[in-house]
Amino acid sequence: MSQSVNPFESARTQMKAAYEYLAPKYDHEFTLALSPERIIEVSIPVVMDDGSTRMFTGYRSQHNGARGPYKGGIRYHQDVNKDEVMALSTWMSIKCATLDLPLGGGKGGIIVNPKELSERELEELSRGYVRKLYKYLGPTQDVPAPDVNTNGKIMAWMVDEYSKLVGSWTPGTFTGKPVSIGGSLGRDTATAQGGVYVLTSYLESKNENIAGKKVMIQGAGNAWLVMAHLLKEAGATIVGVSDSHGAIYDTSGIDITAIETLKAAKKSVQDHISGTHYTNAEFLELPCDILIPAALENQITVENANKIQAKLLLELANGPVTPDADTILFSRSIPVIPDILANAGGVTVSYFEQVQNGMNYFWSREEVQEKLKLKMNQALKWVLASSASHNVMLRTGAYIVAMERILEAMKTRATE
């Protein structure tokens, strides 16, 4: 799939398309919101197991803090770059505002293939990242979380390092932590669970339901596995799955438990003995009722948007559909439930985790899921109403909702 599309320019293009419906009330604030407020680049030394010292480059982009502390994950990937983290921090600002969370947008990353590091090296890298950035982090400043190739164990190392540096236990500085040190129940499944809540409500708004739908999911990380199980429980048939090595497709349904076993053994979905094998590019163009991109950015572009056969897309990944592809899909009457709504369950429960850390009082899993369902369903109603009112695609409708909240906060804080 083409990677030539700059994700930060995609984010800015999406903002500009939505601002047409808000101008000229916030022209000054909009100009400011087009760029991150701060971008930090650091060099992190790590003493490797062989005794050599290796330098790693890390980033933190803080896009907009008008509505509250910056919020967003930290990813470990060999393709991390400055434009990517700037884009992701922008999308986090929009995402938090779409859900009406009192947070801004941030994102971080380290250029590394974590599979090449031992656990000791990974821990040293994680703690080193915090040592370089801790002055810019904190419960009222910037609250990171897990993202691609990071998890609760890494957050535990980071919050421990941060607390040592500031001299007191400060669990609210990171979310997505293990429950044993202040993490929230339900955070491990929140991204997928939130996506299912939104998808269910969207289909209900069209007098449809999930039962009987044929679903394809691109990307074999934790979120997609949870999503696959939840959709199967709801009566959907998972007909296609993929990972970085390729894809399989079977209209009679795929055994998700068998795929989960393969992934646990560090094998590819293509090692599954049933179904037809496809490349990742071919996979996206196969027929289904619902396609769920759950991998990385720029998967659906002008190169393949006219070949998409899905009837509905739900973006569990960040930025998988480029702006030009969005326009093509909209012209073909293929709705896209955008990432800033569809995958916002993760940041919503991260916000719940912050609240619980601040109170030092924790909720049951059932309470968390009940509150998550209410937030996701209300946000969908706002997005549907905005989209219908302005006769625009769902993404633009969401951006209008979010940007009005962000720009109004910027305007109010500047004048009062």
Strand 70-77 vs strand 104-111: parallel, antiparallel, or unpaired? parallel
Strand 312-314 vs strand 53-64: parallel, antiparallel, or unpaired? unpaired
- Please pick, among 25, 71, 95, 107, the residue that the annotation labels catalytic: 107
Instruction: Specify the residue for token string 């999308």.
Output: 91
Output the CA–CA distances (angstroms, integers) from residue 396 to 78, 267, 281, 391, 401, in the order listed: 31, 39, 26, 9, 9
Which tokens go with 181? 């040190």
Bridge partners (DSSP) of residue 249 are 240, 276
Is 16 among the catalytic positions?
A: no
Which tokens go with 351? 């916000």
CA 375/CA 101 separation, integer angstroms: 9
* Three-state DSSP state, 277: strand
The count of other CB atoms within 10 Å of the CB of residue 228 is 24
Query: Which residues make Cβ contacts (< 8 Å) with residue 117, sequence separation at least 6?
Result: 125
Instruction: Give the DSSP H/E element, type plus range, for residue 401.
Output: helix 394-415
Report the C-alpha dihedral over residues 261, 263, 269, 272, rounded to 10 degrees: -30
User: How many angstroms from the chain centroid is the CA of residue 165?
Assistant: 29
Tally: H helices and E strands in the chain: 14, 12
With beta carbons less than 8 A apart as the criterion, state whether 141 and 60 touch: no
Query: Which residues make Cβ contacts (< 8 Å) with residue 342, sequence separation at least 6?
Result: 194, 195, 198, 199, 314, 315, 316
- In 3D space, the residue among 134, 193, 199, 154 whose CA is nearest the CA of residue 365 turns out to be 193
Side chain identity at 363, as an amino acid letter?
W
Sign of CA dihedral 314, 243, 319, 154: positive
Q: Which residues are tagged catalytic?
A: 107
